[in-house]
Structure formats: C-alpha cells, structure tokens
Copies of this chain bind each other. A is one copy, B any other.
C-alpha cells in the first residue's frame, strides 16, 4: 500500500496533533511559542513530514539538510539529511508507515544520518541503516546510524 507523505505546516491544529507523539519536546514548544507571539505565521513551513490516516496524523518525522561544510559523518564530506523524531502512533505500528517515511527521505538521493532510540535497532537495520564507528568527541551520547546512496562512504 502506498502512503502519501505530506510536508506539515505549523498551525495550532498540527501542534495539537504533535502532542500525541512521545518525542514532543523543546522543538514543538518553541514552535508553539513563536506562533502565539506572532513570530511565525500560521501555516509556516516546518521540517516535519507526516502521514494521515483519514484526518488523523499517525506518523511523522523531521528532516533537515546539513551542509557539506558541517559534515563529520560522510566521505567525501557532502550535504546530507539529518532525520529525527521518526515515530508512528502505537495503534498504527507495523503497517509500513515508518518505512514509507524513510523511503521518502531516501528519495532525495542524499546520505542520511539519524540517532535512533535504543529500542528501534531492528527497524533501522531492516531499512538499510548501519552503525557508524563511534567517535566520542563527535558523537557524545548519540548512537548514530547512517544510510548512503552509492558513491558515499563513512568517513
């Protein structure tokens, strides 16, 4: 089954929907405050992408393109996507929503880095991500994993 991945806009409805997700944190609170204070407009662009089941947001992730000059993960250094807060609501897990979001991220043809929760290793292995060689000064408390299209390799 093909799911439609949508770029999410920041408005009160979306921010309310975000509260259903476990990884609701400073990023969402800051969006809410900016909206309240009219620092950002209603329906501004966001780094979030999601999938709706009917009118319910059931899966989401955040994506950001990191410029090559900041790259410390790939060889040669290049633009890559940082992916975070990939999450599917409990009742909708195991139905391919997470997979569809990752496929969407891969469709940019850029390497991807993410720092998954410890319990999600199996999922990430299935979608082709592998562990980097841990570097304390760079990775600190992270457990970075990466995926790369042909042509890119780990630093």
Contact = CB atoms under 8 A, between A and B. Distances in A.
B133 A30 contact: yes
Contacts of A141: 23, 25, 27, 62, 84-85, 115
A22 B118 CA distance: 8
A85 B24 CA distance: 20
Count of chain copies: 2
Contact of A26 (B27, B82, B139): B139
Interface string A6-33: 0000000000000000111111011000
B118 A25 contact: yes
Interface residues of A, number: 28
A136 interface: yes
Contacts of A29: 134
Contact of A82 (B30, B82, B140): B140
Nearest to A28: B134
A125 to B, nearest CB: 13
Contacts of A24: 118
Nearest to A62: B141
A47 B30 CA distance: 32
Interface of A: 22-27, 29-30, 47, 62, 64, 82, 84-85, 115, 118, 131-134, 136-137, 139-144
